[in-house]
Structure 1
Amino acid sequence: MIRYAAGALSVLALSILAVAAHGRHHLLKLPAETRRFFSAADDDSEGTRWAVLFAGSNGYWNYRHQADVCHAYQILKKGGLKDENIIVFMYDDIANNSENPRPGVIINNPHGDDVYQGVPKDYVGDTVNAENFYAVILGNKTAVKGGSGKVVDSGPNDHIFIYYTDHGGPGILGTPAGPYIYANDLNDVLKQKHAAGTYKSLVFYLEACESGSIFEGLLPEGLNIYATTAANAVENSWGTYCPGDSPSPPPEYDTCLGDLYSIAWMEDSDVHNLRTETLKQQYELVKKRTANDNGEYGSHVMQYGDVKLNTDSLYLYIGTDPANDNFTFAVDNSLLPSSQAVNQRDADLLHFWHKFRKAAEGSDRKVEAQIQLAEAVAHRAHVDNSIKLICKFLFGIEKSHEVMNFIQPTGKPLVEDWSCIKTMVRTFEARCGALSQYGMKHMRAFANICNQGVEIEAMTEASAQACTTFPSNPWSSLHRGFSA
């Protein structure tokens, strides 16, 4: 039986491997040393720069998310932001993980330097959660539980940069602890921040599958918020620098080092003078690289909110590395897309497969990898089959597929009643186990269940019929709690 499972899993893994200006343009061109001398005065007139960096996952197979956040920190630090104005959320289980071939070191590029050194550990472990994220953005020190207590204590002339990277799904973003981040809650927080009058402008970079659904029909104009997302509301985002990719990570790494959209904006920021490069210029470069020449390994980067803010220079939000002061912006400075990329939701299977393939025959490591791969595949099948069965019970065999996959017109939010979708998710998880990072792909089905007016009693009964046993695997609600 185990040999049969291993063979089937090998076939699956191999198939995955195959898929596997209000800018400063009007400033005089002063020598670099002179510009740095006057930069303090510039900072006073522009207010303080604040940044919130959030990696929403844990587990070594999600290495890339914490690597992304650490790289972003290094860019901000070189850009002149102070640690007191940078708040970092990351589980912090990667650098010293037993799987990490370079203990204490995190890289975000096959030839990159250590990006982990010096990164503040403001919120780690279970303090990386939605409620702390909201409290930090709002500057609400009393609402923060655990961690360093740092919040965005901004004023009306300040500029805020928020960067999130992790798994997502329609209307939802992952967290390693506690309930997930729901689109309506996040947008409500942003509206509250605006109503408080505690920033001049805010930029939000968002890396996740279906990330466009977080702002689609929800983020209005007039808040002085400009958001870009790695994908539109209906497509996956992608990991990059993965085993089998070109360029690939060093051979001792069995995991993706970064995410395609995130790597695109950060590697652009590494090499350009951000005093003169605008948000729009970076958006165009990132869009081109992330689309991967419109191939099958890419997604559509989107803009939301007050798009007119994209004429601002990046310097207003993330500063600039003085070493790049004499660099001239050029479109051909952008790095080429990778030859392949890996669907965000398949990156864990890719890791387990390479771990299994490379481990010595008969070793504990090979057995562990086989179990991890088998559990992940079984969990996926359980979630997929359970939700399909629930929809058949609710809508009938002929109509269920249509209801599950219905997509709202562009510009409309995923669902009108967000309390309903949370109730339906919790009802499912109470009987069928946690959705997990993979199961978030089905959030559209839950939204459509609500949009069809299904009552909670009917959902409860259908879930009980579909799931006659409660799973006890690592993704069970018994271990990580509920998603809503």
Structure 2
Amino acid sequence: MDTGITDIRADVCHAYQLLKKGGLKDENIIVFMYDDIANNEENPRPGVIINSPHGGDVYKGVPKDYTGEDVTVGNFFAAILGNKSALTGGSGKVLDSGPNDHIFIYYADHGGPGVLGMPTSPYLYADDLIDVLKKKHASGTYKSLVFYLEACESGSIFEGLLPEGLNIYATTASNAEESSWGTYCPGDYPSPPPEYETCLGDLYSVAWMEDSRTFFCRPIDIMLLHFQVKSRTSNGNSPYGSHVMQYGDVPLSKDMLFMYMGTNPANDNFSFVDRNAIIPPVKAVNQRDADLVHFWDKYRKAPEGSMRKIEAEKQVMEAMSHRMHVDNSMKLIAKLLFGINKGTEVLTAVRPAGQPLVDDWNCLKTLVRTFETYCGSLSQYGMKHMRSVANMCNAGIGKDQMNEAASQACVTFPTSPWSSLQKGFSA
């Protein structure tokens, strides 16, 4: 499942190749992928996607079950529940699983507190995902389910929400409060080939895929992979790393890896060595800034006076302007609602570990929609403010109060490419 920029698409394609090498058949793999990178004019290798500096093409042969406008929350949920009648477009493939089946779900996208990105509107909210997983369990159509999640603040999707007893083990790229990180980015070591102007992968995703590929044999359990990935994603506890988390039925991590990802017979006699598959990157890029890295590297490399340089400079300026608009609008709304001093406190408050982001998820969605009605799209960058909006709900703010504050904070509606007129509404 993917809906982000180049690195995330490459992660998903790589995951497919990994499962295929593990012996899984296409009929048992469902791929959601926006699919606008391989043949994009910005791709330096047309028709090819790579996920590491010296890696091969991970795009070849990937099924296009759900692409473009068919990558929606509704179709994703319908596929999980095996509900073909609820699909709108796509291949029609769903999880037609039974009570003895083991399910593996990998989701990669941009995210924010309590929310995951989609290329279409609306975004995916944590409470809705948990409801679907509970319905899947109630249907008795799986034995166990493992969920790998790559996104900023991805721990918030399960924190205080995913109960034990559903036979679901979830692991996330970060905790509920921090970013996840892109890797193999311009300026990093290892860096992408010189013709690339974007990150090639995400730190957590690359870690679990490269390490599982190395340890792809029957004696390895999920917990062993978890510790390897946790160590690598923390990046030596540097500022360029995040905390890999576990939620739900953690004892399922004792299950063998091959039960979910298949096994490579060539590795049947492989002896485990406790070290990472490759040298960890010296640094990484905050996943939320991956678009800026792309625009800036594009600008840096473009010839002086060229249309490409002018276009790249415009993209950088528009992205920065949008970020400033979202940040300043949210700060002003908080001050209007709570006062100058308490406003900042409300925006930055974090609930204790184990508590969900918000008590009333409908309130969160309503206030997000109200904000975007007056102030434009939050976009992937603005997802970080979901916690601020959740805190407003937890403090008792309702739609009418948000209406008044947002209308005062945003007296003109933005019309840039980041406007919700083009991006749609997040909720």
User: Does the alignment reach a TM-score above 0.5?
Assistant: yes
Alignment counterpart, residue 46 of structure 2, candidates 78, 99, 103: 103
**What is the root-mean-square deviation in Å for CA atoms of aligned residues?**
0.7
Q: For residue 345 of structure 1, what is the aligned residue in structure 2?
A: 288
Greater radius of gyration (CA) = 1
Counterpart residue identity of residue 302, structure 1: M
Following superposition, the deviation at residue 273 of structure 1 comes to 3.0
Alignment counterpart, residue 304 of structure 1, candidates 242, 247, 266: 247
Which SS does the other structure have where 1:88 is aligned? coil
1:192 and 2:143 correspond: no
Q: For residue 159 of structure 2, what is the aligned residue in structure 1?
A: 216
Alignment counterpart, residue 229 of structure 1, candidates 154, 158, 172: 172
Q: For residue 451 of structure 1, what is the aligned residue in structure 2?
A: 394
Moved more, 412-421 or 468-477: 468-477
Counterpart residue identity of residue 327, structure 1: F
Contact 1:140 1:151 in 2 (8 A): yes
Following superposition, the deviation at residue 336 of structure 1 comes to 2.9
Counterpart residue identity of residue 226, structure 1: Y
Q: For residue 55 of structure 1, what is the aligned residue in structure 2?
A: 2
Contact 2:228 2:276 in 1 (8 A): no
Moved more, 265-274 or 254-263: 265-274
Distance 1:274 1:379 in 2: 47
Following superposition, the deviation at residue 56 of structure 1 comes to 2.1
1:410 and 2:353 correspond: yes
Distance 1:393 1:198 in 2: 49
Q: For residue 460 of structure 1, what is the aligned residue in structure 2?
A: 403
Q: For residue 80 of structure 2, what is the aligned residue in structure 1?
A: 137
Distance 2:276 2:123 in 1: 37
Matches within 5 A, 1:418-457: 418-457=361-400
Alignment counterpart, residue 91 of structure 2, candidates 148, 151, 168: 148
TM-score (norm 1): 0.87
Alignment counterpart, residue 114 of structure 2, candidates 151, 171, 184: 171
Alignment counterpart, residue 417 of structure 2, candidates 467, 470, 474: 474
Counterpart residue identity of residue 44, structure 2: P
Contact 1:285 1:334 in 2 (8 A): no
The structure-2 alpha-carbon separation of the partners of 1:357 and 1:347, relative to structure 1 and needing over 3 Å to count, comes to same
- Residue deviations 1:153-191, cap 9 Å, x none? 100000100001111000000000110000000000000
Which SS does the other structure have where 1:206 is aligned? strand
Which SS does the other structure have where 2:30 is aligned? strand
Counterpart residue identity of residue 311, structure 1: K
Counterpart residue identity of residue 3, structure 2: G
Q: For residue 277 of structure 2, what is the aligned residue in structure 1?
A: 334
Counterpart residue identity of residue 108, structure 2: T
Which SS does the other structure have where 2:347 is aligned? helix
Contact 2:72 2:118 in 1 (8 A): yes
Counterpart residue identity of residue 269, structure 2: N
Gaps of 5+ in 1: 1-53
Moved more, 426-435 or 332-341: 332-341
Distance 2:218 2:421 in 1: 50
Contact 1:64 1:256 in 2 (8 A): yes
- Residue deviations 1:386-423, cap 9 Å, x none? 00000000000010011111111110000010000000
- Residue deviations 1:184-207, cap 9 Å, x none? 000000000000000000000000
Distance 1:275 1:333 in 2: 19
Following superposition, the deviation at residue 333 of structure 1 comes to 4.7
Counterpart residue identity of residue 323, structure 1: A
Distance 2:311 2:216 in 1: 47
Alignment counterpart, residue 340 of structure 2, candidates 397, 409, 417: 397
Distance 2:267 2:54 in 1: 20
Distance 1:56 1:187 in 2: 20
Q: For residue 253 of structure 1, what is the aligned residue in structure 2?
A: 196
Counterpart residue identity of residue 264, structure 1: A
Alignment counterpart, residue 185 of structure 2, candidates 231, 234, 242: 242
1:65 and 2:8 correspond: yes
Which SS does the other structure have where 1:89 is aligned? coil
Q: For residue 355 of structure 1, what is the aligned residue in structure 2?
A: 298
Aligned length: 427
Contact 2:232 2:276 in 1 (8 A): no
Moved more, 152-161 or 271-280: 271-280
Following superposition, the deviation at residue 323 of structure 1 comes to 2.2
Following superposition, the deviation at residue 322 of structure 1 comes to 2.0
Following superposition, the deviation at residue 270 of structure 1 comes to 1.5
Following superposition, the deviation at residue 103 of structure 1 comes to 0.2
Distance 2:277 2:381 in 1: 32
- Residue deviations 1:262-309, cap 9 Å, x none? 000000122123311110000000000000010110000000000000
Distance 1:349 1:134 in 2: 31
Gaps of 5+ in 2: none
Alignment counterpart, residue 125 of structure 1, candidates 50, 63, 68: 68
Following superposition, the deviation at residue 334 of structure 1 comes to 3.4
Following superposition, the deviation at residue 480 of structure 1 comes to 2.0
1:278 and 2:221 correspond: yes
Counterpart residue identity of residue 14, structure 2: H
- Residue deviations 1:413-470, cap 9 Å, x none? 0001000000000000011001000000000010000000012111000000000111
